[in-house]
Structure 1
């Protein structure tokens, strides 16, 4: 029986585990959840011990589905930006502070002012935000100095998992980039930022390529997982970087558009492309640069994509859970493109790209007595897509030339949404059919670490897509006009949005 690859994706609310063959065939999978604790307003914490219990449960459940399959290597993927603080005994000193945490707004402002916005972007490729490790560490230094004096190690969530698996401290460029303590061009920790924030380099893990073997499964953890001692563990990558691999998006002419609760546009690039205005994030990918490989990616983020549709469902229906999104999409298809003049700004919780405006608010514009549910639903679908295109134009301004869009997330299941994306962008679209793409990316990195496959080639061959959806030229021209109206609607109202 051929060897298997085990991918572990430590997500924000659950861990997903995938067992595959070397050609990407899924043999088994399982998941296990854990809560986000909010002991105070704006806090978002998780217990590292809860991660480990969930990982053990999910790995055992996966292996139970294929008990005779030998595991050749383990790959890791994980939620970005979070902070795990370890003491001298290498045990967590406090709950992990994860990316949705908002307590460090003052520290974000302080870091940006002390470094200088343009200098910060030039080093890290990104603006700092609450929940990012740089801001969280600064908050701990200021508000919990006694705790900070005990800190010996600072780890990201995935890298704490690796330490539990192998006893080795390590990280990779893609996850380290999300700390905002990292030099994007040098692909190493920034001494300038570490000095400024009073962080010792030896408090951070060494940086290794994502495809390297960072360690091997130690005895206690192997027993907990039901695996043999000594299985190699790849360094792995951040969940977004792994998601690109799992989606087969590794070339600079491809764009990954994810429409889930929020929305993301992720564009691979072969050189460091930094926005001096800080409207997008540029991070390292899971691939090492060189020989035409996209060693970085640019990312634009929307805060309310599927969230806007869920909100609308809750307002339109007395029993919203009895109404499927497929039913809503069927109703939306009854309305014409443009929803008979109805335009929607999906900024229900502020917006990231391109405005970085936490005060932005949602707007329905152009309502008349003739508008029905079908128009409202279609306007939300179009508004979210126009917001994505508005964000993409920043990437295009910086040199992106996408010829093909891979659509992922819940929105990818809707044929209507696929067509609207194709028409708004004027670009062919394919829906991703690969399940658990970040865990699949972790499997690819595991195979690459043991020399069993090439990560870029495996990314192409492993990913599965729906049929190609072509844009309609007339509707594309129509939506170009709607995009201008969409932008103008925000600009005219930006000064009127409240906190």
Structure 2
């Protein structure tokens, strides 16, 4: 049997999944790694630890398929966006991998965002001005890490680092490049005004290529260790968000994909970019004929994990004893509370926020607390707050791109029926879950099938994604949620200045 390995280099782990050519999962391997926070606003990861996770996960799935007599025909990549690593002339890292959650450059982002040049760069690059953006990170580094900045031979993402290690070549796919704030999504090349602002030239960046670019000739030490032929085709692939849409079959007009993993996002696919004059949404590249429009939220499943780790020791202990996931116990508790959490509203901005506010200073807030509220009300409010955040972006997206009819749900949150139903009710739209919710890995595999001539067009993904479950909205719940949401939406504007004030107190 022929198979393709889809590799997803994520924020908290890397997973490699072997798919047959019908999109079925054969084997998979997931390897976790930590996020490092050396300073309060810094979020980094160790590049070689991530490289090891990629190598070991591929090695694992290849060995399992070798034992079954299956034939590997390609390896394709999905990756988290917005990472930056400075490397020297020998490819040695000068920094850790600075990831999307890092907000050290927020003062630079605020200055750029408020300028005419910042708006012009956004309209050309499709990347909102925010500390997540490599553009802002480089501006910070230029002033605050001068020795590293001047010594750096290249500034690259984690996927570029891995491909350099494998092939001794610096290449970046259009999709990852389009999320840097440095890449012109209309001209498919580096944007000179953005580069000038960051203080770099094109030779400090990788060569941009199509997301279906095929590279062969892997370094033998890696190929031998992973048990693959040195000429196995490696496909650059795209970013995790773009591939989540493709892998979920959310590619037709009126379809949207919502992913909630560590963070979250809502996205649609268009045949051309559609930037927002209000700078609320992004326009990233999937292929030269497919653009992914939408907005990310910083605060997804990581908020649920925060509640679990800090307020649920009994549930963790009980779950370990009876052999189930602690999240199952928590969602069961939350399900006993009526929609709307009895008027308790949670702003989930524990990591600041990206879309639609793009405000790194924003903070988490519980609002409306009264004497009747118990722990499970706070838990329910946390889950609802995450969905409100995604819904807030969804409304901005519809204003820019047109109405959404169906949502394809992906990411770890789909394991919770309560959370998915909550999404259907808040959006008042049908929510579909594919049989395999490993959409980013599947999307990478679909790009590989296109690149290798196994399919003619990426739209053929429709045949590879059987539907597992459909959630229909409850209108009564929707009306109840909307009363809370309108307060939720107003709270940010009322508290925006206070977020800045409390941030200053912590310095």
CA contact (8 A) 1:125 1:281 kept: yes
Corresponding position of 1:297: 292
Residues 85 and 373 from structure 1, CA distance in 2 versus in 1: closer, same or farther, beyond 3 angstroms? closer
Residues 252 and 356 from structure 1, CA distance in 2 versus in 1: closer, same or farther, beyond 3 angstroms? same
Residues 222 and 197 from structure 1, CA distance in 2 versus in 1: closer, same or farther, beyond 3 angstroms? same
Normalised TM-score (structure 1): 0.89
Corresponding position of 1:292: none
CA contact (8 A) 2:260 2:412 kept: yes
Residues 233 and 471 from structure 1, CA distance in 2 versus in 1: closer, same or farther, beyond 3 angstroms? same
Matches within 5 A, 1:413-432: 413-432=415-434
Residues 28 and 195 from structure 1, CA distance in 2 versus in 1: closer, same or farther, beyond 3 angstroms? same
Q: Provide Cα deviations, 1:328-371, integer angstroms capped at 9, x if missing partner.
A: 33333333333333333333343322223334333434444444
Is 2:380 aligned against 1:378? yes
Matches within 5 A, 1:223-372: 223-284=224-285, 286-289=286-289, 295-313=290-308, 317-321=312-316, 322=318, 324-372=326-374
CA contact (8 A) 2:127 2:133 kept: no
Residues 443 and 216 from structure 1, CA distance in 2 versus in 1: closer, same or farther, beyond 3 angstroms? farther
Q: Provide Cα deviations, 1:131-180, integer angstroms capped at 9, x if missing partner.
A: 43222333333334343344333322112212222233321111001111
Corresponding position of 1:53: 52
State how far apart, in whole Å, the 2-side matches of 1:494 and 1:139 are.
24
Residues 376 and 409 from structure 1, CA distance in 2 versus in 1: closer, same or farther, beyond 3 angstroms? same
Corresponding position of 2:168: 167
Corresponding position of 1:181: 182
Residues 368 and 41 from structure 1, CA distance in 2 versus in 1: closer, same or farther, beyond 3 angstroms? closer
Q: Provide Cα deviations, 1:386-437, integer angstroms capped at 9, x if missing partner.
A: 2322221111111232111112233322222222211211110123442432
State how far apart, in whole Å, the 1-side matches of 2:311 and 2:136 are.
40
Q: Provide Cα deviations, 1:97-136, integer angstroms capped at 9, x if missing partner.
A: 3333333334334544666232122111222322432223
CA contact (8 A) 2:211 2:235 kept: yes
Corresponding position of 1:108: 109
1:317 Cα deviation (Å)? 4.2
State how far apart, in whole Å, the 2-side matches of 1:490 and 1:200 are.
39
State how far apart, in whole Å, the 2-side matches of 1:9 and 1:318 are.
31
Give the match's secondary structure for 1:279: coil
- Unpaired runs of 5+ in structure 1? 290-294
Counting matched residue pairs gives 492
CA contact (8 A) 1:85 1:151 kept: yes
CA contact (8 A) 1:267 1:400 kept: no
State how far apart, in whole Å, the 1-side matches of 2:144 and 2:376 are.
50
State how far apart, in whole Å, the 2-side matches of 1:40 and 1:361 are.
18
CA contact (8 A) 1:215 1:232 kept: yes
CA contact (8 A) 1:216 1:233 kept: no
Corresponding position of 2:42: 43
Note the aligned Cα RMSD (angstroms): 2.6
User: Residue 476 of structure 2 is aligned with which of 474, 477, 490?
Assistant: 474
1:39 Cα deviation (Å)? 4.1
CA contact (8 A) 2:216 2:230 kept: no
State how far apart, in whole Å, the 2-side matches of 1:117 and 1:94 are.
26
Corresponding position of 1:394: 396
CA contact (8 A) 1:121 1:276 kept: no
Report which stretch shifted further, 229-238 or 97-106.
97-106
Residues 21 and 309 from structure 1, CA distance in 2 versus in 1: closer, same or farther, beyond 3 angstroms? closer
1:475 Cα deviation (Å)? 3.2
CA contact (8 A) 1:250 1:456 kept: no
Q: Provide Cα deviations, 1:432-464, integer angstroms capped at 9, x if missing partner.
A: 442432222222222221111245234323334
CA contact (8 A) 1:252 1:401 kept: no
1:307 Cα deviation (Å)? 3.7
Residues 146 and 337 from structure 1, CA distance in 2 versus in 1: closer, same or farther, beyond 3 angstroms? closer
State how far apart, in whole Å, the 1-side matches of 2:359 and 2:56 are.
40
Normalised TM-score (structure 2): 0.88
Report which stretch shifted further, 180-189 or 346-355.
346-355
Residues 414 and 114 from structure 1, CA distance in 2 versus in 1: closer, same or farther, beyond 3 angstroms? closer
State how far apart, in whole Å, the 2-side matches of 1:153 and 1:114 are.
27
State how far apart, in whole Å, the 1-side matches of 2:495 and 2:86 are.
43
